[in-house]
Every structure is written in structure tokens, then in C-alpha cells.
Structure 1
Amino acid sequence: MAMKIRLARGGSKKRPHYSIVATDSRMPRDGRFLEKLGTYNPLLAKDDENRVKMDLERIKHWLGQGAQPTDRIARMLEAAGVMPKKARSNPKSAVPGKQMAERAAKKAARSAAPAEE
């Protein structure tokens, strides 16, 4: 069975509240789960201790059983010190889009033209 540690959404429209759950990866996002491992409330301030609550012992147990955390949960576990920090690289994030590159080329051409005269 492919196990995941992931978020299950709760709360009403525009007021999200998430449960951190251990579940079979084939189950729907808010469907059946095996165990609730904590909560995540994104509406609270980032430095609030109630924003993320996790049962670290049970999370370590599920990781030992082969459960794979999702990207968001992995970041939370890295912040808690349970998992080693991963090196992430997104080299395309700093490259401007097509339209912005065209604007920059036009601006460079305009600024170079008066300097030549």
C-alpha cells in the first residue's frame, strides 16, 4: 500500500483549515484516512505556535513505515527538524517571461539610440 502524509482540507469557503493525515495515496484528498497526525491553520500568523500542530512521534512512526510526505508537509517537517533540509533549485524562476524580455529589449534599444547620436 502506497502511504502518504498529506493535508486534508476542512473549513468553509474562504476559511481553510487543514488536518495532517496519514492515508493511502489512492484515497481522495478529503476522503478516508488512517490517522490524524496534526492540524494546519494558514489563517494564523506565521510566528503563531498554533499555526502548525503535529504529533511528531506518530509522524516519525509513519515515515518509518515508508509513508511519503507531500511537498508542503515535507517543508513543515524540515522546519520542525524531523527531516533534513532539501536543496531546492528553480533556475527558471528568475528568468523574465516573453513579454517582459521584449519590453526590456525595446527599452535597451531606445536608451542606446540617443547615446549613439
Structure 2
Amino acid sequence: MMVRVRLSRGGVRKKPYYHIVVIDKRDKRDGKCLERIGSYDPMLESEHRIKLDIERLEYWISKGAQLSNRVKLLQSYSMDPENINKRAAIKTKELEKNKARKAKKAKEAKAEEPAKEEPAKEEAKAEEPAKEEPAKEEAKAEE
């Protein structure tokens, strides 16, 4: 029997809550589990987000259970809670960089728009007198 430790979703729409379960690999995501060994609530603050029974997790790993990628990550967070804060800090830095890039691109786009419109107006003014001159020549030719 292939046993896997993974997340089983609960909660309501747009407010997820996950149970960390030991389950047969072939069963459905929310199917009948062998044992619930913890929970993960992504809506809470970082300290209270993960509840995991480490002893039971180690027991199931010794029996050959495989961890899903997310459970491996949650295990590392539960072992060292500072990892959560480090990752949150990295994400906030990335978001700030992205916002700065978007703001810079917006400023550059605004600076380019007036520069593009001004030469177009000058070209239009230059073309208008050129059209009038040939019309005068035609009038002289008719007389």
C-alpha cells in the first residue's frame, strides 16, 4: 500500500482550510484518510498557521509514507518558525520591486506619449502650406 502525507481541503469558497492527512496514494484528495496529523490554515497569521504532530509524521515516514511537496515545506516551517518570516520578508521585497518597476514603466510611458504627439502636430503644420502652394499654381495656369 502506497501511503502519502498530503493536504485535504476543507473550509468554504475563498476561505481554505487544510487538514494534513495520511492517505492511500490512490484515494481522492478529500477521501477517507488513515489519520489526521495536523492542520494548515493559510488565512491566519504566521505563528498559528501550522499545527503538526511531528511524532506521528516521523512515525509514518518510518513506515514508508511519502510527503507531498507542500507538506515538506510545512514540515520545514514547523521545525523552524523563523523560515515563515524569512519567506514572507522575501515575498514583500519582491512585491515592492515589482511595484517600483511598474511605476517606472508608467512614468516612462507618460514621458514618451507627449513626445510622440508633438512631432505629429509639427508635421501636420508643415504639410498644410505645401498643399496650398500647388493650388495657386493651378489657378495661374488657367488664366
- Normalised by the length of structure 2, the TM-score is 0.54
Q: Which of 61, 65, 72 does residue 70 from structure 2 map onto?
A: 72
1:40-51 maps to which residues of 2 (within 5 A)? 40-46=40-46, 48=47, 50-51=48-49
CA RMSD between the two structures: 1.3
Residue equivalent to 1:98: none
Residue identity over aligned pairs, in percent, reads 40
Q: Max radius of gyration: which structure?
A: 2
Distance 1:31 1:73 in 2: 17
The one-letter amino acid of 1:36's match is R
**Larger RCO: 1 or 2 (CA < 8 Å, sep 6+):** 1
User: What are structure 1's unaligned runs of at least 5 residues?
Assistant: 83-117
1:102-117, aligned counterparts within 5 Å?
A: none
Which has the larger helix fraction? 2
Match of 1:25 in 2: 25
Give the number of equivalent residue pairs.
80
2:4–2:25: 8 Å Cα contact kept in structure 1? yes
**CA distance in structure 1 between the aligned counterparts of 2:77 and 2:19, rounded to whole angstroms:** 18
Query: Residue 77 of structure 1: CA displacement?
Result: 1.2
Deviations 1:45-78 (A, max 9, x none): 22x2x21001111000000000000000001112
Asked if 1:12 is matched to 2:9, the reply is no
In structure 1, what is the Cα distance between the partners aligned to 2:74 and 2:64? 18
The alpha carbon displacement at 1:80 in A equals 2.9
Structure that is richer in strand per residue? 1
Aligned equivalents of 2:9 and 2:69: distance in 1?
16
Letter in 2 for 1:72: R
Residue 79 of structure 1 and its aligned partner are, at CA, apart by 2.4
